[in-house]
Amino acid sequence: MRAIDMAKGTMSGPQSAFLTSDVVIQLDRIIAATRPLEHVWHQLHPLGHVRLAINDLSPDGAQPFHDEEDTVHAVVNGELYDFDSLRTSLVEKTNYSFKGHSDCEIVIALYKYYGLSFLSKLRGEFALCIYDARTQTFIAARDRYGIKPLFYTFIEVKLLVAAEAKAFLPLGWEPEWDVASLKEAGWNHDARTIFKGVKKLRPGHYIICQSFDSTESRAYWDMEYPLKTQSDPRSNEEMIEGVRSQMLEAIRIRLRADVPVGVYLSGGIDSSVIAGMVTHLVKEQGERMGNDNETERVSCFSIAFDENSGFDESAIANRTADYLGVKYYKKHMNEAELAARFEDATWHCEHHNPDLNYVGKYALSEVPQELGFKVVLTGEGADEQFGGYPMYLPDYLREQDLAYSNPLPEETRKTQCIKTEEENRAYYNSIGADGSDRGQSLPRRMLNDITTVSSMAAFSPDTLFADWTKCYATCDPQLTSAHSIDGRARDKIMSEWHPLHSALYVWQKGHLSNIFLSCLGDRTEMAHSIEARTPFLDHHLTEYVNALPPSVKIRWDSEEQRFTEKWILREASKPFITDELYKRKKHPYSAPTTYPENGPLHKLLSGLLTRERVKRLGFIAWDKVEGLVEKAFKLKNANAMRFAFTVAQWVVIGERFMVKRAEVPLSR
């Protein structure tokens, strides 16, 4: 949200806003503020919307939506798919009169027919608000994987619901640090944020406020995995074809729009298979890329780092683009470009990240915007569905895969379990993370001994906190992660699910929704009014993939004596990608962690990490931060660099949000 003119109720900058006494709505973002106003509610309709118009560009597609009786009202952020069939069905059943042809207009008709069960009918990435004046019911819901953000807080008697915390600022919100959440990593693993009193609606959940009374959060969907002792009778070929079919359909339905649609393309298999399948659908099956009438035109966007950084994958992306015959646009990022965008990208993300990859994604989203694109397809979620990250390996090997007909030899499994755990520990130490805290612990005992929970806590900056913050007692990010999993899921983790599936579940509940889909997703994309669509997180696809045996997600190659991550995705993708990508090992998207002295980032961090600015935070000890920048740049210490990035981001957030300095709580 940009600077708001309180007198006119408008917002300057590329994302305009609408402001009344009860509502702020940012461009294609849901920001609803409600309060007990029974006597004037019908006149106010305190929901509003300023569009990022994607489907139905006519005035009929403008939001909020209202039913014919003017009693049910809704705003929707994101995209809903298969809406034509739902629309036809609803007209046949109810004779509902639709105003336009927007995908999002089906929300009211579904709600009126199915009640709260309407959420199970939605397919896509969305956050929405509904007010039903007939029953005085307010509902706010978030999609199954948290692709679209949704936050809420209370200001006196008002309930504020928003896609960004900054939207609360003109409505009386005075930001304070949630120090316990920062120390315990609650912002990363549970419903808390870095701000006191501001909560996020969890993926697959909705909040409901009935008759202006209490507000409850309830789940409407969750991930599920098969019983680990149950054998899967399907052949490899049948499962491969199933994944391929589901992928093509998930991509096909995401090509529809009344604006241009493009594809983010990196050097990895995830984005490349999307680009390959899109090209196949367009050239071989005549599908359109949004409103583009040229069936030969597929546009891909990429980012390149300096060649000597060790993180540049643009050469591979170039070769993929040449192979597919697509249009390819690339933005080059050097240290100066990262430094120039650091503060703005941090402001949009609203939380810290120990890596500058979010700044790269922020810059990447400039490319389609500059070329007139509003929609891109992106590869987030593939690693979480298909077992793509190396930290999953020990958990895959923790137990035999009884669901698969050709299990790994027992001796190999035990040996490789120890070996991969040691490799993971060494890897985290090499990239400036803490690889030491991976032994037996209460959190691991709660989660059937999976080590993925330890990997998720590897970047904790707890050593930088001021001594007074010890008043928050034991702060263990691993325990926070374990506690955030509900009892039903923990029971299944302990006795029913294979450890690989348990690891995938826990990771998706934390890192995927709270980091990857945030600062590497919606925040940095919508900062440039770009809507990203994530085929790998289509719930029809994920439910199919979740039911597959672990050993088709991670495969042991006995000849090469190594593991192939995302094996079944590679096999399903083979007709659409290069042989180079088919054989390539996973390379996580990251930005460099070493930079030269006296360069743009060194100067930027030196200016941000001063005694005055750090002490203004209140919860960080200056004596623990002093010298951190020198250690990062002069000694090339990756751990110091990540800590410097993190504290610098807190400084930016603290100053731009005018966050109150943290103090020892009076109650402590």
Binding-site residues for ATP: 303
**Cβ count near 361 (within 10 Å):** 25
How far is 552 from 386, CA to CA, in rounded Å?
9
Tokens 């080590």 belong to 451
How far is 33 from 42, CA to CA, in rounded Å?
15
Q: What is the DSSP letter of 397?
A: S
The residue type found at 385 is Q
Q: For 472-497, give the DSSP string.
A: G----HHHHHHHHS-HHHHHHHHHTS
How far is 301 from 303, CA to CA, in rounded Å?
7
Q: What tokens appear for 213 in the block?
A: 């009374």
Closest to 131 in 3D by CA, of 71, 81, 87, 80 = 71
Annotated binding site for L-glutamine: 103
How far is 29 from 413, CA to CA, in rounded Å?
48
The residue type found at 213 is D
The residue type found at 533 is R
At a CB cut-off of 8 Å and minimum separation 6, what does 293 contact?
Answer: none
181 contacts 453 by C-beta, under 8 angstroms = no
Q: What tokens appear for 64 in the block?
A: 């909020």
Residues recorded for the chain: 668
| Longest alpha-carbon distance in the chain | 74
**Exposed, middle or buried: residue 98 (CB in 10 Å: 0-12, 13-18, 19+)?**
middle
How far is 122 from 82, CA to CA, in rounded Å?
9
- Strands 215-219 and 299-304 turn out to be unpaired
Q: What tokens appear for 76 in the block?
A: 């929707």
Q: What tokens appear for 107 in the block?
A: 């929300």
The residue type found at 79 is E
How far is 236 from 187, CA to CA, in rounded Å?
40
How far is 563 from 388, CA to CA, in rounded Å?
11
How far is 458 from 443, CA to CA, in rounded Å?
14
**Exposed, middle or buried: residue 488 (CB in 10 Å: 0-12, 13-18, 19+)?**
exposed
Residue 298 Cα distances to 79, 266, 520, angstroms: 21, 15, 23
Residue 552 Cα distances to 94, 235, 385, angstroms: 45, 10, 12
Q: What tokens appear for 362 in the block?
A: 């922020």
Annotated binding site: 103, 303
How far is 592 from 299, CA to CA, in rounded Å?
27
Helix (H) / strand (E) element for 76: namely: strand 72-80
165 contacts 196 by C-beta, under 8 angstroms = no
